[in-house]
Chains A and B, each alone.
Chain A
């Protein structure tokens, strides 16, 4: 039988991989994808807890996280598109308009 700990460790691994990606990638689109991966890792832990505690609340939480992820992706990608119009790059090192 798969224990709860296995699912939690898998979730921690995926979350850490996503966090490393956020720090190492310079492409804004891939950074967004890494954030999606981190959200997915949290979803996995929520579903695992939900199953092991026999409680459906976690599924509702995952539903809400998916809603927020969809909204975040739509707004984030349109920000990238309008940035790209001003300056044709998606490299986060070149996007420094608000840098003091």
Chain B
């Protein structure tokens, strides 16, 4: 990954190590800690995961922005080149003393969306597995990109701290900010991700996230941790990790 590229095609081979197979089972309502499914199902999931990786065309766009925090208005303002601000108490809390944010848009591509629909219509059993695998693969891409961005920042200054990922629609950060973030990084042009009038991303296996960078250490709650759901207000979500 060229650290200076604004966009990039991710090599699937590099993403594989980030794929969390346990998560596939969780998406498929397998609530056991370690899967007790038969060899038939384990092999099927492996095969479908391989196919999903084969058809994934992960591509991303990202850019780093200096930010200012307006504590009175609970606004994060992106400075230099843009007069864009985002009102969100939760984002303010997450970003703490961050002076910069990375904005990233990443997708697995439309071909994968088509494949999911293909299997849902021809072999629904495989289709639901394929969909679960795709959800896990896009997360793996996000994890990979996040690691690379953190590495890149630490190469420049090893005293920097980073938040966890945060996305439009989390907490009180309005989903409508997707459009603004998309424009900021020219996401549609660089990745083919479109944001509809009602803020759906197409292709569906797409993610936009923000990563805060700070020269000061964060309070505990905003450190990078395993549980990505802790700030999400959808307590009843069946996919929630950690406490409900």
Q: Do A and B bind each other?
A: no
Query: Which residues of B come within 8 Å of A, CB atoms?
Result: none
Query: Which residues of A come within 8 Å of B, CB atoms?
Result: none
